[in-house]
Every structure is written in structure tokens, then in C-alpha cells.
Amino acid sequence: MSIPYSYSVKKGSICSGDVSIAGVAREYGTPCYVYSHDSFRSRSRNLVESLNTIRSKEVKVFYSMKANPSPVILNWAREAGLHSEVSSMGELEMALAHGFDPTDIILLGPGKSRALIEAAMTHRILGLVVESPREAKIAAELDNGVTRILVRINVEQGIPGLDESMIGGVEKFGINASELGRTLDDLGTVGKDRLGIHYYLGSQILDHETMLKYHTVLLREIAAYSDMIGTVDCGGGFGVPYSDGDTELDLYGFADGFSKLLLSNGLSDKEVWFETGRYVAADCGIFVTTVMDVKKGANGRTTIITDGGMNDFFRIAFMKSDHPIRLINRLGDDHSNETAICGPLCTPLDNFGTSVGLPAGVEEGDLIGIFKAGAYGLSMSPILFLLHSIPKEIAIKDGRVFPVSKNDLTPFGVYSKILSA
């Protein structure tokens, strides 16, 4: 089992630096997310340093807030030199409130309201990605003379076998490449320096050769419009190894191949942007939940019930994803007893796996850790479902442990606030 990046095992306990994650969970209570700054910082550094070897006018890397908009993570992203990619009014407000300069922010995503585009233009953010002729028209009308406008394109061919392919048949995203020329013409008054093209292949790609193969298709489309644009946002899709057989993406191999693609398509003079959430945030987070009950089925199989469920960590149920799961207070024990791990919700969908390898003899009070939970953890979870408690977020930085917010967020608190407004 791969230990998440920058974590280590000390005296049988998973730790960030010298801080034991089981100790943090016992002190602050579960369910909780624990975030390690060491991990976030080293993953960010890896990505930024490798992408900066790309031979182009300039490379910028944007943190995709959708992966984890927790205030502490936004601070860490800013400190790591990442810019900010937002996809809603809420994310735009969070980026501005957490110290990102408007000139560091880009906005993208389908179905933007006129009000959202107007807010982006009023704040004079760095870039706005338009995803349809309608959005392009609004952007041209509201153009502030500062914000770069990028047109997102899509192509016929998707990525076979990639669950989260966002090119190909997925017409929700961007405009068809055949409409690109017309849309860029419509935005002609914006001018080359502020005009650009965006594409996003898909998420969780682990093989750099596969990535390069699809960038080849997209960059070839873009090459024809090179004279009209100054910026290319090439998205991301930088994956992280979740399952045992997964391997780390070769980022330097990617950067080298990508430089060659820019050169062969006459695009080396462009500013190149990338977006990432998962690559920098996934490893930094561990979701911890306590065993509340242990049951033995008629077939002798063990089922455990935990205090956290899919309301707190939806990704496994929703994406059928395969996160490493360990009993973190008995990390060194043999994890080969097939166990069903179920949350407290009144639905059979609420489980973290029906045959997860755990030690034999799991007891009430033991701690389950779900690793690589720093991206698409809390942000993707239906926290109001059944009105259980909302997980705490605890951060570890330079050996210091602190809760992300002063007050616990509770479903009752959320509704009280709405009702009293």
C-alpha cells in the first residue's frame, strides 16, 4: 500500500512530520479530515518545477478550487505560488477573500450566468474561459479591456477508458473545434494579446504518453489559429495513484514531450496555462472515521459501522473510486480480513467498500483512515443528507496542529442561519 506523499509511518502510526494522525483524530473527534501542509507543498513544488521546464513564453499553474476550497488549502496554494481557477460565484468570492489577486484568477465552467461573467469583468480577473457562442457574446459585450478571453474547444475524439474524459462526445464542454474560427472572429476586438484558447482533456490521467497523444490532437487544431491568440490553457488531468497498481505520472517526461509539441505546432511563443486540483491536494488529506459498531453476518463476514459516511466522503460511493483504507491505530497489523465498512446513513449505498482488507478483531473505537482524501473529499459530499454532524477539518503545518475553522459547522447551524436571515 502506498503511503500518501510526505506522510510516514513512525512507531506503527501514520504521521505528518512527528504528528500522529490517530492522535489528531482522537483529540479533535471524528469524522474529520486531516490536511498535511508538507504534502501539499511538496506536491505543488513537483508540479510547478516540472511544468516550468516547458519551453514556452511563460507557464502558469492554477489551483482548481473545486478539488478543495477549504480556506487553509487556499492559503497553502497561494503560498506555493499557484494561481486560482474558479468555476462559480462562490469560488470567485472565496478566491478574492483568501488573498488571491484578481490578476491571479481565471473563471471557467459551462452554463455561466451573465451576472457571473459581469462579476469576473468587474473584478478585472486575469482570464475568462467562454464555453459557448452565448458566453462569447456576453463576454464581448462586457469586455473590460483587461481580462483575457479564452474560448474552450472540444473535439470529436474522446479518451477511451478514461472515466472522466471531457473531450469527445461530451458536448457539455466548450464549443466544437469547427466553430472556433467563427467564435474567435466574433471576439476579434479583444486583440491577440488578450485572446486565447482553452481545452481540458479530462481528469485522473496517469500515463504521460496518453496525455501527450491527446494534446497532440488539440494543439494541432489550435495551431491554425496561432496568429490570433497569445494564450493557450491546456487544462490538466494530472492524476494521482489511488489503487495499488497505479504508478506516479512522469511529469518531466510530460514537460519534455509537451515542449516538442508546442514547437512542432508553432506555439512556443504562447503563454501556457495548466489547471490542477487533485495532483496537489489529494495526498495531503486523510479522512478519519471511528468504528461505532461491529457485526458478524450469518456467513461469518464482518461488517463495521462508522460515524462518518458518504455524506462526509462521497467520492468512493459516487465515483466507485479505490482509495487506500487502513485501520490507522493498528497500521502494522495484517490487513487481509475482508470487511464491509458502512457509514451511518439509512441507505445501502452508504458504504466505503464491501470487502476492504482490514485486520481481524476490529473493535468499537478503532479508527479507519481513508487516504488520498484531500481532493474531492468534503467539497463533493452531500453534507446535509440525514443531518449528521459535518466533518471537522484539521490542518498540520510545521508541527503545529490547528482546526481550520473556529466553530464547528453543524446542519442545525446551517439551517438556523438561513431561517434567522
Which residues of the chain form contacts with ligand PLP (CB under 6 A)?
A: 64, 67, 108, 166, 200, 203-204, 235-236, 238, 275-279, 375
Q: Nearest to residue 367, comparing CAs of 259, 280, 287? A: 287
CA distances from 60 to 83, 85, 127, 194, 269 (A): 7, 11, 12, 15, 14
What CA–CA distance (Å, rounded) separates 368 from 327?
Answer: 5
What CA–CA distance (Å, rounded) separates 174 from 164?
Answer: 15
Residue in this structure with the C-alpha cell 478566491, named with its chain if needed: 95
Q: Could you tell me the smallest distance in angstroms from the CB atom of residue 294 to ligand PLP?
A: 35
Q: Which residue is nearest to ligand PLP (CB)?
A: 277
Nearer to ligand PLP by Cβ, of 281 and 383: the residue is: 281
What CA–CA distance (Å, rounded) separates 107 from 114?
Answer: 13
Q: Could you tell me the smallest distance in angstroms from the CB atom of residue 89 to ligand PLP?
A: 17
Nearer to ligand PLP by Cβ, of 206 and 228: the residue is: 206
Q: What is the dihedral of CA 261, 83, 231, 135, to 10 degrees?
A: 120
Q: Could you tell me the smallest distance in angstroms from the CB atom of residue 202 to ligand PLP?
A: 8
Helix (H, G, I), strand (E, B) or coil at 392: strand
Beta strand extents in 7-107 (DSSP E only): 7-10, 13-16, 19-20, 32-36, 58-64, 83-86, 105-107
Would you report the helix, strand and coil content of the chain in percent, each value rounded to 5?
A: 35, 25, 40
Q: Could you tell me the smallest distance in angstroms from the CB atom of residue 238 to ligand PLP?
A: 6
Nearer to ligand PLP by Cβ, of 113 and 354: the residue is: 113
C-alpha cell at 41: 507543498
Cβ-in-10-Å burial (0-12, 13-18, 19+) of 141 comes to: exposed
Nearer to ligand PLP by Cβ, of 51 and 356: the residue is: 51
Helix (H, G, I), strand (E, B) or coil at 208: helix
Nearer to ligand PLP by Cβ, of 67 and 390: the residue is: 67
Nearer to ligand PLP by Cβ, of 202 and 309: the residue is: 202
Q: Could you tell me the smallest distance in angstroms from the CB atom of residue 93 to ligand PLP?
A: 19
Nearer to ligand PLP by Cβ, of 236 and 359: the residue is: 236
184 contacts 228 by C-beta, under 8 angstroms: yes
Q: Could you tell me the smallest distance in angstroms from the CB atom of residue 246 to ligand PLP?
A: 14
Q: Could you tell me the smallest distance in angstroms from the CB atom of residue 370 to ligand PLP?
A: 17
Q: Could you tell me the smallest distance in angstroms from the CB atom of residue 273 to ligand PLP?
A: 10
136 contacts 152 by C-beta, under 8 angstroms: no
Q: Could you tell me the smallest distance in angstroms from the CB atom of residue 281 to ligand PLP?
A: 7
Nearer to ligand PLP by Cβ, of 108 and 373: the residue is: 108
Nearer to ligand PLP by Cβ, of 147 and 203: the residue is: 203
CA distances from 251 to 48, 49, 52, 55, 259 (A): 10, 9, 11, 14, 12
